């Protein structure tokens, strides 16, 4: 089959550090953490009390009253990001052949946070107190289906819930769909709205999150010697991924080319990564092979960098395995110190950041990195670095042993 090329022509996002492509990039360059004490609910009884919240999103003004009423927060995030991405790409949805436009979304928890809110209503007032839209809002595919219905996109529509790699997996599938002719344009990304008492508490109970409650801005610190866990966040990112020749014919601005995708499973543990990094490295090697890249070609790695003691150390081992001697001369950074870890949305947000890093010729630093853990043994960027590189990788690693890697080329 003909192997077509896929490019990123639009970016939309809702994040704690900024909305839209410009807002997200401005937040990355500013380099200030938006992690704060959580105020979405009373977390006084929790050992962890910090989060990265989106505080400036008004669904009513963003989407209109009707859309706002029929969707929960994770779908609202996704639909808003999709609209931004289409606008950023210069695409008018009504002028597109809807059958040739696909939608691929990743979300670890889908509408679980909304279901939790409605369960509280049910306990207080019985079934009559429950929203009639509950059943249509909480299932994982709701975000992608709402995007398709809103814009009339009848192409392939898929949702995956592969934990913290879900957004990257969705983008990887989008590459395959464009490459092999399933669709000409795909809106792909991830969305997550997990900041509800039980969803949040479930991760606090297993002691996966930081307890730096008195210094929330410094709680998420990828690769730092003093890291103590991840910080939960929320948000969404959607990319417009388009067949290259069609994008060039219409004069589209191209952020980057999406050139490779690899995935694997540790088959080891539901929450702990394989310490030897062998399967995470295999995902990286798969993306590099898909893109026909050698280790020396890779100019930057955007790490998953969750800020967990085990996760960051295992990822560093994987990077060294995949890149070999080139690992010690390849800049790497983790950006979750800025916006926390929005679970299934993180891979999509970081794909957007990686594409913009190539586009702008500027590699992001690692917020809150004071002293690199000696076990990391990689050239982790503390500060941003102005450097034009040709190829980059973005890693996503999730609970359940899921590993995904995306490869990008400068346009």
Q: How confident is the model at residue 65 (pLDDT cuts 50, 70, 90)?
A: confident
pLDDT in tens, 348-372: 999 999 999 999 999 999 999 999 9
The boundaries of every CATH 3.40.47.10 domain in the chain are 6-249, 261-410
For 196-207, how does the pLDDT look when each residue is reduced to its tens digit (9 = 90+)?
Answer: 999 999 999 999
Q: How confident is the model at residue 301 (pLDDT cuts 50, 70, 90)?
A: very high
The whole-angstrom separation of Cα 300 and Cα 355 is 11
Mean pLDDT across 184-210: 97
DSSP track, 10-65 = EEEEEETTEEHHHHHHHHHHHT---EEE--SS--TTSS--EEE---S--HHHHH-H
Average pLDDT, the chain: 96
Identify the CATH homologous superfamily for domain 261-410: Thiolase/Chalcone synthase (3.40.47.10)
pLDDT at position 1 is 63
- CATH T-level topology, domain 6-249: Peroxisomal Thiolase; Chain A, domain 1 (3.40.47)
Q: Enumerate residues 6+ apart whose C-beta is below 8 A from 12.
A: 20, 21, 80, 81, 82, 83, 84, 85, 86, 87, 88, 189, 237, 238, 239
Annotated active-site positions, please?
A: 164, 304, 341
Query: Do residues 184 and 243 lie in contact, with contact meaning Cβ atoms separated by under 8 Å?
Result: yes
Tokens representing residue 298 in the block:
């890779």
Global pTM? 0.97
Confirm if 216 and 53 have CB atoms less than 8 A apart: no
pLDDT 10s digits, 111-145: 999 999 999 999 999 999 999 999 999 999 999 99
Say if residue 217 is exposed, middle or buried (CB neighbours under 10 Å; 0-12, 13-18, 19+). middle
> Alpha helix (H) ranges present in 93-133?
112-125
**Which tokens go with 359?**
């586009």
Sign of the CA dihedral with 334 first, then 335, 336, and 342 last: negative
Nearest C-alpha neighbor of 296 from the set 328, 264, 334: 328
């Amino acid at each position: 089959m003909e192997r077509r090329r896929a490019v990123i022509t639009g970016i939309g996002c809702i994040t704690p550090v900024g909305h839209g492509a410009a807002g997200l990039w401005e937040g990355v360059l500013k380099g200030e953490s938006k992690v704060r004490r959580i105020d979405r609910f009373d977390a006084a009884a929790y050992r962890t009390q910090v989060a990265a919240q989106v505080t400036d999103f008004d669904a009513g003004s963003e989407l209109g009253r009707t859309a706002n009423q029929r969707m929960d927060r994770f779908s609202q995030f996704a639909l808003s990001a999709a609209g931004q991405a289409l606008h950023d790409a210069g695409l008018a949805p009504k002028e597109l052949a809807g059958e040739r436009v696909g939608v691929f979304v990743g979300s670890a928890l889908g509408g679980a946070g909304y279901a939790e809110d409605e369960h509280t209503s049910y306990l207080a007032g019985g079934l009559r107190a429950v929203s009639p839209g509950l059943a249509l809002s909480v299932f994982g595919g709701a975000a992608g289906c709402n995007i398709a219905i809103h814009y009339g996109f009848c192409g392939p529509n898929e949702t995956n819930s592969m934990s913290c790699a879900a957004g990257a997996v969705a983008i990887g599938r989008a590459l395959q769909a464009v490459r092999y002719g399933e669709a000409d344009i795909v809106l792909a990304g991830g969305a997550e709205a997990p900041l509800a008492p039980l969803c949040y508490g479930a991760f606090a109970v297993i002691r996966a999150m930081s307890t730096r409650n008195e210094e929330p801005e410094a709680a998420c610190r990828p690769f730092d010697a003093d890291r103590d866990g991840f910080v939960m966040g929320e948000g969404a990112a959607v990319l417009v991924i388009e067949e290259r020749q069609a994008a060039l014919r219409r004069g589209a601005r191209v952020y980057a080319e999406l050139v490779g995708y690899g995935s694997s499973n540790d088959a080891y543990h539901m929450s702990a990564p394989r310490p030897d990094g062998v399967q995470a490295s295999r995902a990286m090697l798969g993306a590099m092979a898909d893109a026909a890249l050698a280790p020396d070609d890779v100019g930057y790695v955007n790490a998953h960098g969750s800020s967990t003691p085990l996760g960051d150390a295992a990822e560093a081992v994987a990077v060294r395995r995949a890149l070999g001697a080139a690992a010690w001369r390849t800049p790497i950074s983790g950006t979750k110190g800025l916006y926390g870890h929005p679970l299934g949305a993180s891979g999509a947000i970081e794909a957007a950041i990686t594409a913009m890093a190539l586009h702008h010729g500027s590699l992001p630093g690692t917020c809150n990195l004071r002293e690199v853990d000696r076990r990391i043994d990689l050239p982790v960027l503390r500060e941003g670095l102005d450097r034009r590189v040709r190829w980059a990788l973005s890693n996503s690693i999730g609970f359940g042993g899921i590993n995904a890697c995306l490869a990008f080329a400068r346009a």
